[in-house]
């Protein structure tokens, strides 16, 4: 088993073509048939929270369902493993629930199987009654401004994958020793995560499952100032109160918030009245501004909230290849015509913010699509037009369904809705085509064997899991993650 390469973007875009295999029919003549013939073969593509919640609800909702989960990584659990911050262990407890799902006799996990390279969507649709796309978002939005390719500029996703030991980012090696300032573009929860990791005391991080190379880099970091830059104001900050409270409470960190930025207009006050979350976030920022005002910050690290600014270009340092500053344009808010919605517009005033590291936390995008797969309550549609038809047997859940929003638990409701659509179609007899009996798991195994794909089953993941935990015990951590593709595959053997 060699190193698995991520699928080329152009190849993934082909997934939206939704090739309809022979045996599929778009007619509704089967609707009157007797429902719930056994078994129902289901394939879930992606083993993150959306995928596992879908598998769990499917197993509970249909006693004849056989669910196979495939993932391009040899490790399950998606963003719970590679996205949740290492200092948030309570969020990762959900893997215990997902492990119980995987232990169900009617559920199987196939890691190291990549959709589009190892098995095509067309092959899966020929093999399974139901295919659910749950593979989330593994690419990043681009700002599209000059200088974005300078060294020292990363997406927040790349940085998060790096400190979480994701095999695709284990060689990222961001330089944390050549600057004292980092700029984080964005003020959502992910932005707060990366800022908190840069500022948190490394002795606290040492007790987490952070990757060892990331901990070493943070121990040697010279970064003392982190700037969280947002296009709009404190009322519109996209973070939750819980995340904000945590970063505001970091030890030995002085918080800077300009009092002028906290002045609210009638439209802001309307937003505060209509949203409990926005009210709590604004209150926390206001209290922090007062609490830190006039305090001596000698020897402390600094966290700066920079509101009403948008990046317009990245400026190089003296070497010409590394980022040295971000040019910011001052903004103001204007009503865009929607009730309670204010957007940032440029004022034509500019300023430069010096830094040697930039992390862009401006959102993700799903590979193969430029947004969201068109769907109706999880049922994939052939297009976004009014004449779109439902793609038989094909469903979507998670970020591919709704966009990169929400927390881990958001996927539970999302999965429930998609599974309800599947069960509804099953009751209508839509999976009972007499000339297209599906092989399900047996068919998948035949495909993988023919292509000599050496997959990682769940019991092999348990070997990885055990080795990581044993290595972690030696360092008083929950686990020491195995970081490279080859080492993961060797541990699985």
Which residues belong to the annotated binding site? 50, 79, 115, 187-190, 231-232, 243, 399, 406
- 328, 229 contact by CB (below 8 A): yes
User: Is the bond preceding 39 in cis, omega lying within 30 degrees of 0?
Assistant: yes
Cα 110 from Cα 368, distance rounded (Å): 21
Q: Which residues are annotated as a binding site for NADP(+)?
A: 187-190, 231-232, 243, 406
Q: Around Cβ 352, how many Cβ atoms within 10 Å? A: 12
Give phi and psi for 329, each to the nearest 5: -105, 130
484: three-class secondary structure by DSSP: coil
DSSP string, 393-422: EEEE-THHHH-S-S-TTHHHHHHHHHHHHH
CA nearest to 357, candidates 188, 166, 201, 218: 218
Q: Around Cβ 267, how many Cβ atoms within 10 Å? A: 15
DSSP letter, residue 369:
S
Q: Around Cβ 124, how many Cβ atoms within 10 Å? A: 23
Give phi and psi for 310, each to the nearest 5: -130, 140
Helix residue ranges, H only, 275-394: 276-292
90: three-class secondary structure by DSSP: helix
Give phi and psi for 92, each to the nearest 5: -85, -5
| Largest interatomic CA distance in the chain | 77
Assigned token pair, 60: 């509970």
Q: In what order do the strands lie in the sheet with 225-229?
A: 153-155, 357-360, 181-185, 225-229, 301-306, 253-256
Q: Which residues are annotated as a binding site for FAD?
A: 50, 79, 115, 399
């Amino acid at each position: 088993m060699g190193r698995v390469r991520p699928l080329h973007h152009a190849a993934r875009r082909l997934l939206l073509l939704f090739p309809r295999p022979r045996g599929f029919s778009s007619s509704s003549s089967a609707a009157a048939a007797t429902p719930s013939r056994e078994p129902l073969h289901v394939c879930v593509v992606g083993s993150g929270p959306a995928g596992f919640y879908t598998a769990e609800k499917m197993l509970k909702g249909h006693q004849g369902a056989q669910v196979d989960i495939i993932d391009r990584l040899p490790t399950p659990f998606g963003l719970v493993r590679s996205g949740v911050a290492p200092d948030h262990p309570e969020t990762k407890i959900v893997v215990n629930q997902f492990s119980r799902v995987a232990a169900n006799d009617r559920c199987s996990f196939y890691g190291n199987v990549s959709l589009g390279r190892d098995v095509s969507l067309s092959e899966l649709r020929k093999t399974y009654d139901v295919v659910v796309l749950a593979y989330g978002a593994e690419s990043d939005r681009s700002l599209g401004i000059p200088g974005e390719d300078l060294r020292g500029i990363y997406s927040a996703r790349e940085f998060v994958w790096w400190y979480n030991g994701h095999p695709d980012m284990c060689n990222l090696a961001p330089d944390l020793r050549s600057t004292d300032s980092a700029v984080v573009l964005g003020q959502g929860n992910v932005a707060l995560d990366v800022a908190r990791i840069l500022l948190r005391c490394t002795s606290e991080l040492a007790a987490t499952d952070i990757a060892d190379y990331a901990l070493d880099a943070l121990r040697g970091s010279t970064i003392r100032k982190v700037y969280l830059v947002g296009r709009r104001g404190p009322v519109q900050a996209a973070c939750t109160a819980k995340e904000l409270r945590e970063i505001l409470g970091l030890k030995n960190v002085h918080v800077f918030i300009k009092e002028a930025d906290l002045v609210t207009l009638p439209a802001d006050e309307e937003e505060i009245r209509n949203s409990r979350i926005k009210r709590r976030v604004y209150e926390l920022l206001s209290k922090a501004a007062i609490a830190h005002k006039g305090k001596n910050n000698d020897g402390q690290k600094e966290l700066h909230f920079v509101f009403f600014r948008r990046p317009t270009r990245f400026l190089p340092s003296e070497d010409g290849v590394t980022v040295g500053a971000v040019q910011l344009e001052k903004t103001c808010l204007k009503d865009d015509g929607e009730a309670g919605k204010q957007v940032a517009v440029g004022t034509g005033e500019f300023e430069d913010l010096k830094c040697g590291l930039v992390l862009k936390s401006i959102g993700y995008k799903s590979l193969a699509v430029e947004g969201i797969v068109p769907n109706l309550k999880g049922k994939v549609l052939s297009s976004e037009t009014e004449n779109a038809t439902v793609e038989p047997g094909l469903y979507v859940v998670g970020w591919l369904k709704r966009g990169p929003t929400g927390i881990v638990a958001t996927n539970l409701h999302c999965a429930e809705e998609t599974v309800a659509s599947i069960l509804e179609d099953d009751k209508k007899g839509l999976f009972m085509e007499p000339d297209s009996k599906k092989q399900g798991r047996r068919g998948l195994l035949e495909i993988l064997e023919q292509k000599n794909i050496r997959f990682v089953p769940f019991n092999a993941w348990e070997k990885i899991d055990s080795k990581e935990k044993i290595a972690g015990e030696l360092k008083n951590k929950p686990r020491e993650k195995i970081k490279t593709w080859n080492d993961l595959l060797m541990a699985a053997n």
